[in-house]
Amino acid sequence: MDIHAILEHLPHRYPMLLVDRVLECEPGKRILAIKNVTVNEPFFTGHFPHYPVMPGVMVIEALAQAAAILSFRTLGTKPDDRSVYYFVGIDEARFKRPVIPGDQLRLEVTLERETRGLWKFAAQARVGDAIAVEARILCTLRPI
């Protein structure tokens, strides 16, 4: 999926859009996406000026956005103005390597289960072969 298809599957826009490309998507199973980390990301101004590091919470958000695309592709729908895809939980989060400008994050998210509208995923963000962040994340789609 290129950026145009991603924009159809996520309500996020700059500066909160954190998925640049989807390399693989198997609805109901897994997704592999890319986030290119550039020095002009707005959070690098203050985190940290002397050694820019992508905040771990932003890496988790990128994983959640990839999970949202997987969920919408699995459901065969797209986001609309009548609902919001919420992030409802993070378990077993581990931050193993800093993410810095110039890195390319490979976001791999696997659907573990979906029960009564609650989606549970195993997620990893890698830079090359090194795991930067791993977590289990929970999301849900709710009407507004």
**9: helix, strand or coil:** helix
Backbone φ, ψ for residue 8 (5° rounding): -75, -25
Domains of the chain, each with CATH number or no CATH: 3-143 (3.10.129.10)
Given this model, what pLDDT does residue 104 score?
98
Given this model, what pLDDT does residue 51 score?
95
* Mean pLDDT for the stretch of residues 32-36: 98
- Check: pTM over 0.95? Answer yes or no: yes
Mean pLDDT of the chain: 96
| Residues catalogued as catalytic | 47
What does the pLDDT look like over 54-109, one tens digit per residue? Answer: 999 999 999 999 999 999 999 999 999 998 999 999 999 999 999 999 999 999 99
Q: Is the peptide bond before 52 cis (omega within 30 degrees of 0)?
A: no
